[in-house]
Amino acid sequence: MSQVSERLAALSPSETLAMSQKSNELKAQGIDVINLSVGEPDFFTPDFIKKAAKKAIDENFSFYSPVPGYPELRKAIVNKLKTENNLDYKPEQIVCSNGAKQSVCNVLLCIVGPGDEVIIPAPYWVSYAEMVKLAEGTNVIVPAGIEQDFKITPAQLEAAITPKTKAIILCSPSNPTGSVYSKEELKGLADVLAKYPDITIIADEIYEHINYVGKHESIAQFENVRERVVIVNGVSKAYAMTGWRLGWIAAPQWIAAACNKLQGQYTSGPSSIAQKAAEAAYTGPQECIEEMRQAFERRRDLMVKLASDIPGFKVSKPQGAFYLFPDCSYYIGKSFNGKKMENSADLAMFLLEEGHVAAVGGVAFGAPGCIRFSYATSDDKLVEAMKRVKDTLAKLV
Ligand code: PMP
Ligand code: GLU
């Protein structure tokens, strides 16, 4: 008999991970599925990072680390923030966790309580809204469709703010849309937020380095909001280290202290070996980032071309991350063998079962008319996958 708590019963499972798991199950049955569901680089972790991890094992980094991470790693992150982002932080403002996913959740659990509102521009990454629910807060979703390149305007932001607003979660470059806020656009949002000093700004910058329009812009650069920004970042995407589980925040001192306290009772510091690997990533040669970025940019161009060729798809040109998020509402309401596609989750399931391509329906991202394809895989697989998508969708009547 299942007697899970109300809190857990209200939680939806991660759709990105669920679709990936379904795709792996079909593969295990011998079906040739192309998995464009989960978002993770297909590259191996660079050798110099792996070497540092092996060295850490041999040097017996086998004990508990300080809860927020080793001082050397936090210093390396402070240095990265200074040299790459021109932002000044102290090591005490950095807390390392088991992936940026835990970092976001830590912050929300530390600052959000019953009755508090959190503004989330949609489309949003699947886990934000569920994490707010875990913290017993209320999601205030601000929709931004493909016609506005999936980015909210300062006026939309201002209209969503109430006396209960506790935080906003911004993600740029964005998962799932690939949209990137320009410096001017971020300044527009910062100017609104500057008028509301009690709102914490959570800036998820995990795709910082997968950017096709130039330099990364952080909302933390604006003095009028700077002291209320929590930057979330990590090594998963930039250094192809998703399985190592190492993310971090750069936060106001009080939020860093709160996350330290929470983590001290909850998980302790992240893996000692992953921390030594991350330290090597931040202090070693950085060419690997640009090599992977270029590969993703080539694939972005390929995907835009292939998807634009599919009847009914509306395609935006992503400026970062490794996702394509076409609007496929043209197919919603159509049927296959008498089964109607009620939304893009049905469409994703149809593509998986009938076309053997795994993608994620936009419902989970707060955009029921869209579907997400992760293009972090080889060019050959992308060509084959999009051919299957096109042929499979053509079966809908
Ligand atoms: N934020 C966003 C927007 C993401 O896409 C991901 C990827 N899962 C994360 C945070 C978490 O990354 P990780 O936990 O692997 O560091
Ligand atoms: N960020 C990736 C995705 O959105 C990883 C899966 C997850 O953590 O949800 O697919």
Cα(82) to ligand 1 centroid in Å equals 22
User: Between the CA of residue 156 and those of 140, 162, 192, what are the distances in Å?
Assistant: 12, 12, 10
Q: What is the pTM of this model?
A: 0.97
Q: Answer whether residue 173 shows pLDDT above 90.
A: yes
Q: Specify the 3-state DSSP secondary structure of 248.
A: strand
Q: Answer whether residue 201 shows pLDDT above 80.
A: yes
DSSP summary character for residue 173: S
Instruction: Sort strands 34-35 and 357-358 into parallel, antiparallel or unpaired.
Output: parallel
Ligand 1 pocket residue status of 352, Cβ below 6 Å: no
Ligand 1 pocket residue status of 263, Cβ below 6 Å: no
The Cα–Cα gap between 269 and 203 comes to 22
Residue 57 is encoded by which pair of tokens? 């094992």
Tell me the mean pLDDT in the region 61-76: 98
Place of tokens 């090597």: 280
Tell me the mean pLDDT in the region 343-351: 94
The confidence score (pLDDT) of residue 18 equals: 87
Please name the residues in contact with 109: beta carbons below 8 A apart, sequence gap of 6 or more. Answer: 131, 134, 135, 262
Amino acid letter, residue 178: G
Band (pLDDT 50/70/90 cuts) for residue 84 is: very high
Band (pLDDT 50/70/90 cuts) for residue 15 is: confident
Q: What is the dihedral of CA 324, 313, 363, 30, to 10 degrees?
A: -70
Instruction: Sort strands 323-324 and 371-374 into parallel, antiparallel or unpaired.
Output: antiparallel
The confidence score (pLDDT) of residue 2 equals: 79
Band (pLDDT 50/70/90 cuts) for residue 13 is: confident
User: Between the CA of residue 294 and those of 236, 321, 330, what are the distances in Å?
Assistant: 17, 12, 32
Pocket test residue of 20, 21, 40 for ligand 2, highest count of atoms within 8 A of CB = 40
Ligand 1 pocket residue status of 39, Cβ below 6 Å: yes
Tell me the mean pLDDT in the region 222-234: 98
Cα(36) to ligand 2 centroid in Å equals 11
Pocket test residue of 38, 97, 101 for ligand 1, highest count of atoms within 8 A of CB = 101
Q: Specify the 3-state DSSP secondary structure of 14.
A: coil
Residue nearest to atom 5 of ligand 2 (CA): 39
Tell me the mean pLDDT in the region 275-298: 97
